Every structure is written in structure tokens, then in C-alpha cells.
A and B are shown apart, each in its own frame.
Chain A
Amino acid sequence: MRMRGSVLPALGLAGIMVCAACGGGGSATAGGTRDGGGTVTLDWEMWAGSEDEKAQLDHLAGLVTQKYPTIKVNLRTAPFNDYFTKLQTEFAAGKQPCVVSMQSLRLGAYADLLEPLDGKADVQGFSPAALQVLKLGGKQLALPYDLASMLLYYNKDAFAKAGVPEPRSGWTITDFEQAAKKLSTGGKAGFGMSFADLHSLSLMLSYNGAQPVTPDVKLQFDSQPMVDALTWYAGLAAGKAALVPASSSDVGWGETQFLNGNAMMAVDGSWNIGSAVKDAKFKVGFAPLPAGPGGSKTYLAGSGFGVAKGCPYPDEAVKAVSVLTGADAQGYLAGQGRSFPSRTAQQATYEEFLVKQDPANAEPVRAAIASVKEGLAGGVPLFTTRNWDSVGKLMAQYLIQVYTGAQTPKDALATIQQQSVRGQ
């Protein structure tokens, strides 16, 4: 009797496991549906941090139906920090949306899952750089809706007080170093350091052209130019001209210390121009990154919308992406101050939004936009490998050891290279 009592639940368990296994293996067509009337509803996954942002995106979704009455877009959102975790889980489960929002730095991980759009979508009117950052291996994997370059943010008040000439176009690495030293007084530092990819690598790129990833997307952290550039960058800390991040988890260190008034300069992206002007308790100035022998350079990044492979309605999805990144959508987003538009014609609207938002700071904002445009001219897309998340984690863990002097640049870069080469 006892035997039988335990056999029954055990059989039940086995049944559950079998059922769950078969349930997981099934492949439901995901991402879109067509109703009896022929209207296609496409899922669109996008990051959004607030109700305002969601409303903006809903407006864009409405534009699609306005142009193509038989296509509806069903928006799903997640906060940016969770977005890519959610997206990869959806792909793993076969529940991916048809329209996928993608950031250029994550492109490496998703390249195999996105339908190339070359020849399918009209790319007229986009800034060439914006298209470039969403290309990998020569294929256009998404259409851009925004574009970003890295800028030097500086504290105008501190420069005036120290009597140091303000940074401007043509400012060199030497000018930058001297200013950083002069501004490091009274417990404040001239520069806020970073180990985040765009923030640290852009300045190293401008210093001597060092690049951690080859054009055919292979890691080369241990190359000699990288060693030289990191040696110089870490030297800013050794010379007491820069603030070292307090721990490996301080990803936004430089720009935070800058806004707090603890560092007088920092590298940050063009997406923060508006908020920096608004939030800082001092006057913020903007300039292109200081120029090395090859001139001022910066990495570019951008975001856009692509079409998932296996989407049951690819033609409709391409149409939807074209409207979501179209001139109307871009004009609307620029007017809302969302970010620097990927379409050349709408970039002026964005500038006007920023100026109107804070008329007293019109001059620095216009300088910022001029710097962004200069950045785009000298800009290079940062191509990322499949395992760029892990690379970012290693940079956080090992670059900080170089900044504190606990490890040599050569050793740290060799460690990063060695540990990340397996998954590239």
C-alpha cells in the first residue's frame, strides 16, 4: 500500500515534466498576427522609462497605422536596464517581437537574429554616420532614430575662476592635461575618469587613434596603441589631475562627479546635453574631445529599429520600421527633445527644442550641437563583439586597477583580451 501511495504522485510528476518539456519545445509564430479583415498587428518592443516616453512611442505607433491602415503596431516596453534581458529571453523562448529596438553597442550580440534591411527600406535622408553605426559586417541591421557622439563637458565657472582658457574646437590633448592639472585644487579634480566603453575609449581614440576592436570585429585590447593610450589615461590619475571611480560598480562615475561639481571636466554623450544644462548648479560648457595627432575623434553610437528574423510579416514590419524612423516621426521626437535625430533635416528642430527649453543657456547649447556635428565628422562607429556585455564588465573590473596603480596597463589589457577572446 505504501508503495502505491508513492508511485501515484511520482507518475504525476513524470507526466508534468514530460508536458513541460514538450510545451517548451513548440514554436509558436511570434511577433505578429493577422485578423480576418487582413489587418496585421505587429509587436514592437522598446525601452521606456516613463509614461511620457510611452506616450511618445504610442504616438509613433499611431503614425504607422495612419500611413498604412492595415498595419497596427502593438507597443511593449521595459525600462532600459531590463530591456535587453527581456529581449534575449523573448528570443530564447521564441516570443520575440517583429519590430526590435536596437542600440548600436548591442548589435554584435543580436546580429544573427535581425533581418538585413539592405535594398528593402529607403535610406534617403539619414545622416550617413547614423546608418553606419547600425551596420555590422556590411549589413544594415536596423534603421536609426537617433545618433550620439561623445563630448567634453566642462564647468565654465571653474575655468573662469582658475583663469584657464575654455576648451574649444582645436583644443589639444596637451591643453586638456594642463587645464586638468590647474583645475585640480581644494579637493576637486580637473577630470572625472570612467571605465565605461564610450566614455573611456573615445578619449583614448582621440589620444592616439587606439581602437579595441578591429574593423572586422575582433578584439585587440592588448595592441600597443591601446597600451599607450591607457598608460596616458591612467596617468591623469597618477598626476592627481583626475578622480578615480570609487568602485567597479560606478559605471557613470565621470559624468556624475562632473554634475556634482567634484570634477571640472568629463566625457559624456550628446544625449545628456539637455539634462546637464538643466540640472547642473553651474554653467556647463561643451567642446569636441581634445585632439591628438590625428585630430579630435569620438566613437559614435545610435539606436534604431530592426526586424526580427522569423517575423511572419516581414514586409509589413519593414514598412512599420520605415515610418517609425521616417521624417514625420523624427520631426515629432525632435520637437519633444527625445534625442539627436538620425535624419539630417530634423537636427535643427532638436537644437531649437533645447534652446527653447532653457533660453538663458542658448549659447552653450548651440556650442554643444556644433560640437556634436564636428564629432560626427570625425566620428567612428564602435563595433562591438558578441560578448560585449562581458567585455564591459571586465573593463570595469580591470581598468580601475590600472587607475589606482595596482596593475600595469599592459597586464590589465592582456587580462581583458585573454578573458574575452573566447566568446567574441
Chain B
Amino acid sequence: MRPRRTEQWSALGFVTPSVLGLGLFTLFPFGMAVVMSFFEWPMLGSRRFVGLENFRYLLGDDPDFLTALRNTFVFTGLYVPLNIVLALGLAFWINRSRWANLWRVLFFVPAVTPMVANAVIWKLLFQAMGGEPNLLADGRTALVSVVVMSVWQGFGYNMIVFSAAINEMSPSVLEAASIDGATGLRRLVSVQLPLISPALFFAATMTMINALQVFTQPYILTAGGPGNATETLVMNVYQAGFQSRDLGLAAAGAWLLFAIILGVTALQFLGQRRWVHYES
């Protein structure tokens, strides 16, 4: 059926503000970043087209980029599972506790306080713990220390998501399962986790994306050091853009990061068919 002409005009009227906003503040910068990544684009001074040189430099000559890539993957590999397991465990425990709401608030507090404040407090904690060298100054423990702080900061959000999903589990399904004799681990793995699998999928995807973009915690706690032990991809982009003032290089780094996140997220979406169950 053909919509009437007046309807088309009103549709256009409704869609224009958001298209303008999206275009101006998302798509235009997005496109600019692509263009910039092919230029030598100093913040001060004149720019020059260099083709793929920025990408070649990052993947070939940049002494930090590949290390930053490795650190980011190590961080993500540790942070995401720890975060999910902790959040899930506490969510199940809290739902049986008498003071469920109190625990929810308490565990959610780190997630709503500013990250910078949390990181500064943790830095003081690490300093107070002493040790020679300090955990943050030792290349073997610095990244793990950043992970620990990040998990503390981040699990509260996922816990709330899981907690809500657990509350929503269909009582009739649970009851049927218990009549069939499913208890303990069996009940958890075969009944409860599949029931909350959409929440798990959401949490895993978002946490992964956030983890790949980690910046504030290492920036405050360790400034990328000692050596480049805690340098992450976003720090590398920041360094290229605001310390080396090389916006082209920063844009190229940001694009590589974007490609990685897109790839990982796509894999997760492909994989979800196997384990995520939506109620039909």
C-alpha cells in the first residue's frame, strides 16, 4: 500500500532531526576518521596524503602498538571471565539472601562512582600495601593489578543485569525441572543458565567491548608503565593523538581497534545461536 504524500512529508519531518544529529555527530566524525587515517595529519602544521603508511607504521615499526594489542587482549581475557563469573555467582547468592536489596546497592556502588576516583583510591591502596617493588611498578604484576581493580569496579553492573534475569526466570519451568529431579549443578547448567542466557549474552558482549576499550584504569594507575607493560590500545591512540599530536596515526589506530571490536562482536553474534535461548 502506498503511503499518502502528506504522510511522507510528516515522516520526513520526524526523521530529519535525528538524521541530522546522527550525521553531524556520528557519521561525519566517523567518515573523517577514515579520511584522516590515510593522511599524515599533525595537530599543528600542514597535512599530507600518505596512503596506508600510518597502518604500516602501527603494525610494523611502532614499538608499542603490538605490545598494546597484546596487553589489551590479555586484559580482556582476564577481565571478562572474572567479571562474569563473579557477577553471576553473587547474583545467584544475593537472590537467596534476606537482604537482597542492600547487597545490590552495595555491590553497585563501585559501578556508579566515577572511574577516576575509584582508580585513585586503588592507587593509594596499592601504595599502602608497599612491597618492593610496588605491585604497580613491577612489570609482572602491574597488568594483573589493573585487572583486579577493574573487576571490582565493573562487576556490579553485570550483577544487577543477572539479578534481574534470575528474578524473571519462569517459575513453572523451574518447578517442572525440580519435579523431573534436576537439582544442584544440573539445575544450574541445564535449566537456570539457559533461562538467563539472553542476559549472559548481553553482559558478555558489552563487557567485552568495554574491556577492549580500556583506558582510564591503566592511565591513572600505571600510565602504561613500567616499560610498556600496561599500555593498551586506547592509550596508544591517545598517545598518538594528544602527546605525539599525530592525528592521522591516532585515527589509524582507532580504526584498527574498531575493526577488532567489530570482528569480536560479530563472532559473538554468530556464536549466540548455539547457546542463547530467547523465549518464543
Contact = CB atoms under 8 A, between A and B. Distances in A.
B44 A397 contact: no
B2 interface: yes
A12 interface: yes
Contacts of B64: 419
B245 interface: yes
Contacts of B102: none
B223 A246 contact: no
Contacts of A5: 8, 11
Contacts of B123: 246-247, 249
A400 B63 contact: no
A396 B222 CA distance: 9
A390 interface: yes
B23 interface: yes
B226 A393 contact: no
Interface residues of A, number: 42
Contacts of B15: 9
Interface string B1-42: 011000010011001100110011001100100000000000
A63 B114 CA distance: 42
B43 interface: yes
B113 interface: no
A387 to B, nearest CB: 6
A88 B3 CA distance: 52
B16 A20 contact: no
A11 B28 CA distance: 13
B268 to A, nearest CB: 28
Nearest to B128: A246
15 contacts: A9-B19, A20-B28, A112-B44, A244-B133, A246-B123, A247-B136, A247-B223, A249-B223, A249-B225, A389-B242, A390-B239, A393-B224, A397-B228, A398-B226, A406-B226
B181 interface: no
A88 B219 CA distance: 21
A309 to B, nearest CB: 11
A384 to B, nearest CB: 13
B139 interface: yes
Interface string B63-82: 11000000000000000000
B255 interface: no
B242 A390 contact: no
A248 interface: yes
Given A393-B223, A397-B223, A248 B137 contact: yes
A112 B42 CA distance: 13
B63 A418 contact: yes
A85 B11 CA distance: 43
A406 B134 CA distance: 12
Nearest to A187: B130
A247 B224 CA distance: 9
Interface of A: 1, 5, 8-9, 12-13, 16-17, 20, 85, 88-89, 91-92, 109-110, 112-113, 244-249, 387, 389-390, 393, 396-398, 400-401, 403-407, 415, 418-419, 423
Contacts of B225: 247-249, 396-398, 400-401
A12 B23 CA distance: 9
Contact of A16 (B28, B45, B222): B28
Contacts of A110: 44
Contact of B44 (A8, A9, A92, A415): A92
Given A12-B19, A397-B225, A406 B44 contact: no
A12 B225 CA distance: 47
A423 B244 contact: yes
Contacts of A407: 227
B243 interface: yes
Contacts of A397: 223-228, 231
B137 A390 contact: no
Given A91-B44, A397-B225, A400-B137, A246 B127 contact: yes
A423 to B, nearest CB: 6
Given A398-B227, A419-B63, 17 more contacts: A1-B2, A5-B11, A9-B15, A16-B23, A112-B45, A245-B137, A246-B123, A247-B137, A247-B223, A248-B136, A248-B226, A387-B243, A390-B239, A398-B226, A400-B225, A406-B226, A423-B246
B27 A390 contact: no
A389 B54 CA distance: 20
B138 interface: yes
Given A249-B220, A390-B244, A398-B227, A16 B138 contact: no
B103 interface: no
B126 interface: yes
